[in-house]
Structures are given as structure tokens and as C-alpha cells.
Structure 1
Amino acid sequence: MDLEFTVIERGSTIGGTWYWNNYPGIGCDVPSHLYSFSFFLKSNWTHFFSYGGEIQRYLRSCFYHFSLGENIEFDTEITRAYWNENTRLWEITKLKDGKTTNESFNILISCAGGLHRPNWGGFRGVEKYKGVKVHTTRWPKDLDLNGKTVGLIGSGASSIQILPSIVKNFKIKKLVHFQRNAAFVLPRNQFAYSNRVNSFLAIYPFGVIYRWLQYVIREIRFIFLWRFYKLGVNQWIRELHAKGIRKHIKDEKVAEAMVPDYVMGCKRILISDEFYTALNEPCYNLDNSGILELNERGIVTKSDKHQLDVIVFATGFDLTSNFKFLTEVNICYVYFLVFTVFKHNPNMKMLKGGEDIKTLWGIFYPNVPNFVSILGPMTGLGHNSIIFMIECQIQAIINVIKMLFDERKDCFMPTEKAVEEWNEEWVDRIESSIWSRSNCVSWYQQGDPNNRAWGLWPGSCTEYWWRTSKIPESKFKFFN
């Protein structure tokens, strides 16, 4: 299409999640060959599930392969994004090295995603604690845990990766694990690829077939574990999972505390080969009574007071603030990186406080011209590769831009009818899905006034591809 474009990146290099997160044991829960772009395949992955460092190196090689260096501005934040009704342009204010500059663009694309602002848990007294506080997405490279009493808050994806790694690589005096709810942690079945296998996968079309095989397996799993979770397969795996926990964890009380009491898949399913066995380490202690507050020396729970040298917050991300622009009156519509948007315009407000978030397939937004997002609301997954979803969204954006050129217009936005029809369908489907409010309370529902899992796509990846690959022009309005 021969378009001029600029990429604005807050970090010092590319990588996104894999740049900002470098905690011990970080890795991906999607197979390496599937967690990669279809247009830039890599045959020589070292492991079936890649670790963070290798994924970032892959992304950097992709970046250099397509010579994107001249189109990107690193170490730059967006502090203001304003749609000018008169010029029909997005006016962007950028901050770099303490200096601000302004630039205008025809189309604004947010690729910030939803998982980049740390959630510190909202515990009372966090500011009082005098020891070392660490969030998993801000892990210091020189952090030494040898001989320390460590508190680990959380039982999600980062927690189950960090815990086995730090008990293995540090001589921790005592580790206190603060758990609110148990998670489903299934076997990772990790293995390393041999040179012979990598050489075979480098031969076309074997690597492509292998990649699609991993995709199909996960789509089939979706049908039986998520879509038709009441058929019995889900319950059968839950029972096997509980038996496995009791087999691997020696302490009976700890084992019982690790058995989830909700429908599998309602919350994120985790994978690890080391987590449950790491709970047998002499330094491990579990406190799942509930955190009351933090004080100067550590954490106070309903059952005990813990003096801690280091507190690790494996408490995830703040989805609410990432998508704050969608839920407040007259707030401008962009959630780039880390910044506050403060454009007020009553003629272009998206939602009133307390209303549902509304999008068209998580990409396009009502009453917001020439703005799209990658990995916006309603596009998160629990079963397959988010890279596939990104490629679908990029293709959808390209198709709409082509329509804009064909119509010889300057602006586009989805019709209100198209947005309303999709959101009504989404509500019906999410309410009857495994992610329904009746099945559990999860971070997927964070910030939604109706406690719906507004971050998730309710169907298969194949359905998303079908919907976004052939977009009817009638779902959009084009104007000058």
C-alpha cells in the first residue's frame, strides 16, 4: 500500500511484553512454532515452549529483517492524543528526554495491548513497607535472594514460573507464598528440540504443517474444554488434576489448598512441570488465609504476621487503567503505553461512566474516527496463540484502509448498528460460556460494571479469522 508510518515505542528496544518482563523463569505457554508470525517462521527454536529471552531475540530478528529501524522512535511516550475535527487529523504529543514535540497523523493505531501496567494488588499499607518491593514486570537484574525471607503474592502465570526458579537458583532462608485462590496448573511437558528435528522442520512444508498441527490441536481443545465444557471432559480432567496434586505434594494441607474449587478454564489454565514439586522444598510455606495489610516489616494476614526481607508482587496487570479511556466520560480514546490522556470533547465521548465497553471485534470503536487497536477489548484468548489474533486484526485494518481509499474519503468508523449488533451477540455468548460470572470471579472481569469477562473473545480463533477476513463495507461509514 506504500504508506508512510511511524512507530512510537516507550521502551529502549522492541519486544513489548518480552522486553519489560524478565523475571526468573519467564516463558510462554504457547508452542514456539505457533507463537510466531506466519510471514516470518523460525525453524530452529530451542524448546517446544520458548523462554522469554529467545522470544525477544526472535522479535528483534524480525524487526531487523524488515528494516523497520528508520520508522520507529524508541524511548518515547505519548502524552496527548487529540482528534482535530477541522483538519481531520490525530494530533499527537510525544515526550522524549524531557522534551515534547507534536506531530499529526491520518490514522492512529494502538498496539499497546492490555497487559503492561502493573497491578500492585490494592493492599492496605503497601507504602509503609520498608523492605524491598518487586513487581514481576519490573524485576531488578541485580536482585539477590540468597539468605533472605521472601514473600510471594499471587498464584497466577508469573507466580508459578518464578517460584520454582527462585527456590532452585537461590538459597532462600524462607519463602512465604500468599495465595488467594488455587490455579489449574497442568503439565507443561517441556522438551528441547534436537538439531536433527530442527533441520527437518526447516524443510518446506514440514515446518508449516507442524505449526498448523499445533493450531488445530488447540482449536479442538477449545471445543471440548471451553465451548462444551459441560459434556464431561472438563470434569474428568479436573479429577485427574486433583489426583496429580495429591501425588506430587507431600504436605496434605498444602495439597488440598492447591485443588481449585471452580470450573476449569473459567480462569486462565497454567502450565508447569516444576511448580507442584517446588512446593516440597524445605523453605516453602503457604499462607492462604487472606492478606489484611502490609506494615513496615512485612505482611499481616488473618492467621499470622510475617516479617519479610523481600516482597514479590506476582499480582498481574491493571486492565482497568489500561482501558480507562473506554469507561470515563469525555476522556480521549487512546491507551498508549504509560500516559494520561486528557482531551475533553463532549461531541466525541465514547461511553458514560458505568456503561459497557463496546467495540467491533475489539478493533474498531463507535464514534471515534480513524482509530483502531491491536489486542483491544474482547480479543484475549485462553486456548490458542495471540499472535494469530494479531495477524487477523492487522489484515482487518488493512482491508478497511483499502475501502477508505476506494471510497476516496478521509475518515472511517464502524456504524453504530454494527457495533450494537456485535456487542449484543458478545454479551449473550459470554454469559453462556465457561467465562460466565456464575462459574467464577476472575481477572478477565476486572473493571467491567457487570462483571463480564470483557477482555475475552468468546469463540474459536478460526471464527475470528472468518469474521475479520471478509468485512462487509456496510459495517462502516466513510466520510470527509
Structure 2
Amino acid sequence: MPASAPDSPSIVIIGTGFGGLGMAIKLKEAGYHHLTLLEKSDRIGGTWRDNTYPGAACDVQSHFYSYSFEPKHDWSRKFGLQREILGYMEHCVEKYGLKGHIRFNSEVARAEFDSSANVWHIGLSDETRLRADILITATGQLNQPAFPDIEGLDRFEGTLFHSARWNHDYNLEGKRVAVIGTGASAIQFVPEIARQVDRLYLFQRSAAWVLPKLDRPFSSLEHWLFRHLPAWDRLYRYLIYWKNESRALAFTRFNRLLDVFAWQARREARKHVSDPVKLRKIIPDYQIGCKRILISNDWYPAINRPNVDLITDGIERLVPDGITTTSGHHYPVDAIILATGFRATEFLAPMAITGRGGKTINEAWRDGAKAYKGIAVSGFPNFFMLYGPNTNLAHNSIVYMLESQFQYVMDCLKKLEKHPGTAMDVRAEAQDAFAEQVQQGLETSVWNAGCHSWYLDKNGRNSVNWPGFTFSYRLATRHAREEDYRFLSPGH
């Protein structure tokens, strides 16, 4: 491992999910040891720490939802469970000696760039102040739960919680429970709790396209092969990648290719849902792929249960003992679970990030979040985002995208070494040209098919998804081009 240079920059990473941990590992391997990871919680893991609801699991295959440089050979099944993924991340912290670099219970409230010294001043919520030459955010897109704008949310006298903040102390056995939302989280926990509760009222605003999950436990022979034949493990990962990657064309260019999946979803629904009223409600009326396609083997059987009511009436308000709909129906319940997703387009919220000239990130993003390569933001020198605007995927693993970003940030640090004392700020014209290219690519995508999804911000602009192949993103992030940046001396 390279020795740390005495004048190596101080680096602060915000967040200890896959992005923050992987970035820290790569920095340490390159000899950058003046490194601090700030974690708002008392434990690492990001979304895999927060989402502990029953049935929580990944919808990307285990072997590809892990770092390429740290393969895990003993995944229990094809698609990893929450506790297993979190355990893998904790293993990485231990193996690569990251614990000494992590400050827990350190929530970042603000960060301001000081042009006179080319440093970032970081303020924590407890008023602690830190200073760093380089600031890297790894807060992800799924860390701020979205609470619905429903009248009376604070008036309900029963138990209410968001799926990302699951109340494990509350026993659902024999209770009347309302679930608001039918997205990716509900798809996983509803089948689990439907077996426990007396009555489950499932409030659906719009149906989801749900495909079978090709999941199963790995056999002992497969475990032996993964462990003893590294080439087999690599080949398996390689095959997963290309299988997933082949779907990119359907999402971004040839949307009608997705129709075969719509046919498959309808067939699954008809096979498992015998109630014609429920069946009619559970089939979406929008182009498949416009919203996130979900995978599950037990969603439709759960919907078919006699103790599950699927309600598509709008919610008018919450009252002390339950929910009242716009049609006048009243549903008395003991508990309400909000499966209403995340504020995915509100990158970096609720932190206040201030760049050159006192400009805040909110001002820079008034017309929608954008960043060069999804990583650098003009006016915010020596600031890099992981899993930033337009780097989310609908067809492959975000960990692959993150590893591309690690490489780009590392190359930026090499460029800074060639210009000692400066701060690198991406040129506005480079950022705008990249953002325009991304938006043009999204015009022909299925996400532009007219539905309202969490991919779209309040202006209706898709600031979340990458409109192409992941290998094209990797090629675009292999090197940082110096001509795309200004290298600013202190005081400029």
C-alpha cells in the first residue's frame, strides 16, 4: 500500500453506505489516509441499515450487488437479504480498517466552501465544526423518507410509522392495519405481515408492474464452486452483468420490447388473483417501465388473501381511529404503515451546501438537480457526489455505477496533485453540455411515457436515471479531463 504523503489532502466523506465505504477503501488503497467518514447514525449501512422491514431484500442479484474488488462467495441465495447485505458491508469495514475513520452520530447540517483558503468548513448538527480540503457526499438517493401530504397525519391515535423506520416493538399479530402505498417496500413486507394481521387495508394510488423473482437458495455445490474456483465466481458475475445490461435498450430506446414483460405480469396476476375486482385494480394502466418494475413471487398471492382489501379510493384524511376516503368510506385501524417511498430527487437534503460566492446548491438547482457526470457541480470546487443526479439505474446494479465514480474521483485527486494548492471547479459549459446530453437521451426513454414517478422532480424533469448502458458511463468516467475544469488558486 502506498505511504501517505505528508501533505496529502484532508478528505471528508458524508455517509457510510455502499458509496461512502467503497470510496474510503479506494482512497486508503491509494495512500490517502487523512480521511474521515461522517455518519449520522450509530451504525454503518445507509439504506440497508434503515430498511429493516419484514422481507427486506435486494432486487439485484447478490453477486453483482457487491464490490468487484471484494467478492463474497457464500451468499445464501441469488438475491441478498437485508441482514446479509448489511453483514457484508460490516465485513468490509472490518477488513479494510475503516472503523477508525468513521465518526458516528455526526449528522452534517451545513458545508461552506472558503475560497480564500480553498477549504470546506463542515458544520454538524451538534455545532461541531470540521475542515476538509475535499468534500465527498455519499448520501444516496433513498435516505430521506417521503411522508404523504394527507390531512390529519398527526391526529391518528393508533401506531403510525414509515416502512423505512419500522417499529419492531409493535406487534402486528391480530391487528387491523392500513398500508399506504404499493411500491418497492410494500411489495416485500405486505406478504410478510398479511399472514399475521387480522385485516389489512392496502391503499393503492397506482398499481405496480410486478414480475416473478427468479430467486432461490444456492446449493452446497454452487457454494463450493464459488469458493474454490475464482474464475467461476468471476464468470457468474460477468453473466449477471450482461443479462441485466441487455435490458437497457428496452428502457432507453425500444420501449415496446418491454411489452413481453407486461404480458408476463398480467399472466402472473391472473394465475394468483381470483377476485375479478382485485385483479382489475392490480393491473397498471401505464406503459410498463415508466415506473420502477418490481419483482416478487408472493405479491399476487398476498393480494388474493381474503383478509386483504385493496382500496383505490383516494384518502381524504386520517382521523383518530383510522382513515376516511374521498368516497366517504371509513376504515377503523389499529396501525398505519406508510410505504410512501423516499424524496429521491431532493439530493443532499436536508444539508445546506454553499459553494463559491455564497451560492447554495438549492439555488444552483432551482431548475432541477444536475451535475457533471453526476459527480461534480459547477461553483462547488473540490466537491464530489456519489450516486448524484442521473446516475440511478432501472436495469443493473448501482454498485457498478459507484465503482465508476470511485475511479473518476481518484483521477480528479491525481489532477489536483499536478496543481498544488488549487481547487478544481467544473466549468459551467461542460456541466450544461453533459446535462443536455443526458436529457436528450431521456426523451426516448420509457420513463418519459407520461406517468408520474419518483424519477421526476417537481418540474417533471427526470433528474434521477442514467439514459444508457452502464459500460458507456464507465468509459465516460475512466478519466477526468483537465480542460473541463478550472483550477482555482486561493482567493480566486
TM-score, with structure 2 as normaliser: 0.89
Q: What SS does the corresponding residue of 1:206 show, helix, strand or coil?
A: helix
Q: Which residue of 1 aligns with 2:233?
A: 207
Q: CA deviation at 1:432?
A: 2.1
The residue correspondences of 1:286-305 to structure 2 (distance < 5 A) are 286-303=310-327, 304-305=329-330
Unaligned runs of 5+ in 1: 324-334
Counterparts of 2:365 and 2:287 in 1: how far apart (Å)?
31
Counterparts of 2:357 and 2:132 in 1: how far apart (Å)?
22
Counterparts of 2:177 and 2:163 in 1: how far apart (Å)?
14
User: Identity of counterpart residues, as a percentage?
Assistant: 33
Rate the CA distance shift 1:357–1:275 in 2: closer, same or farther, 3 A. same
Residue 136 (structure 1) aligned to one of 135, 144, 163: 163
Rate the CA distance shift 1:48–1:353 in 2: closer, same or farther, 3 A. closer
Q: Is the 8 A contact 1:267 1:442 kept in 2?
A: yes
Counterparts of 2:421 and 2:236 in 1: how far apart (Å)?
43
1:363 equivalenced with 2:375 (yes/no): yes
Q: Which residue of 2 aligns with 1:470?
A: 479
Q: CA deviation at 1:311?
A: 0.3
Residue 191 (structure 2) aligned to one of 153, 164, 171: 164
Q: What SS does the corresponding residue of 1:33 show, helix, strand or coil?
A: helix
Counterparts of 1:392 and 1:78 in 2: how far apart (Å)?
25
Counterparts of 2:479 and 2:235 in 1: how far apart (Å)?
25
Counterparts of 2:336 and 2:281 in 1: how far apart (Å)?
21
Count residues in correspondence: 456
Q: CA deviation at 1:456?
A: 0.9
Q: Which residue of 1 aligns with 2:20?
A: none
The CA RMSD over aligned residues, in Å, is 1.7
Q: CA deviation at 1:208?
A: 0.8
Q: Is the 8 A contact 1:358 1:366 kept in 2?
A: no
1:238 equivalenced with 2:239 (yes/no): no
Residue 410 (structure 2) aligned to one of 398, 404, 427: 398
Q: Is the 8 A contact 1:431 1:452 kept in 2?
A: no
Q: Is the 8 A contact 2:355 2:381 kept in 1?
A: no
Q: Is the 8 A contact 1:430 1:452 kept in 2?
A: no
1:275 equivalenced with 2:304 (yes/no): no
Q: Which residue of 1 aligns with 2:435?
A: 423
Residue 260 (structure 1) aligned to one of 284, 303, 306: 284
Rate the CA distance shift 1:260–1:143 in 2: closer, same or farther, 3 A. same
Q: CA deviation at 1:161?
A: 0.4
Q: What SS does the corresponding residue of 1:92 show, helix, strand or coil?
A: strand
Q: Is the 8 A contact 2:370 2:390 kept in 1?
A: no
Rate the CA distance shift 1:80–1:237 in 2: closer, same or farther, 3 A. closer
Q: Is the 8 A contact 1:31 1:49 kept in 2?
A: yes
The residue correspondences of 1:73-472 to structure 2 (distance < 5 A) are 73-95=103-125, 99-168=126-195, 170=196, 172-202=197-227, 203-223=229-249, 225-230=250-255, 232-303=256-327, 304-320=329-345, 322-323=346-347, 335=348, 339-341=350-352, 347-350=358-361, 351=363, 354-436=366-448, 438-447=449-458, 449=459, 451-472=460-481
Q: CA deviation at 1:297?
A: 1.4
TM-score, with structure 1 as normaliser: 0.92
1:479 equivalenced with 2:478 (yes/no): no
Counterparts of 1:291 and 1:22 in 2: how far apart (Å)?
27
Q: Which residue of 2 aligns with 1:44?
A: 74
Counterparts of 2:154 and 2:435 in 1: how far apart (Å)?
40
Q: Is the 8 A contact 1:292 1:300 kept in 2?
A: yes
Q: What SS does the corresponding residue of 1:90 show, helix, strand or coil?
A: strand
Unaligned runs of 5+ in 2: 1-29
Rate the CA distance shift 1:2–1:307 in 2: closer, same or farther, 3 A. same
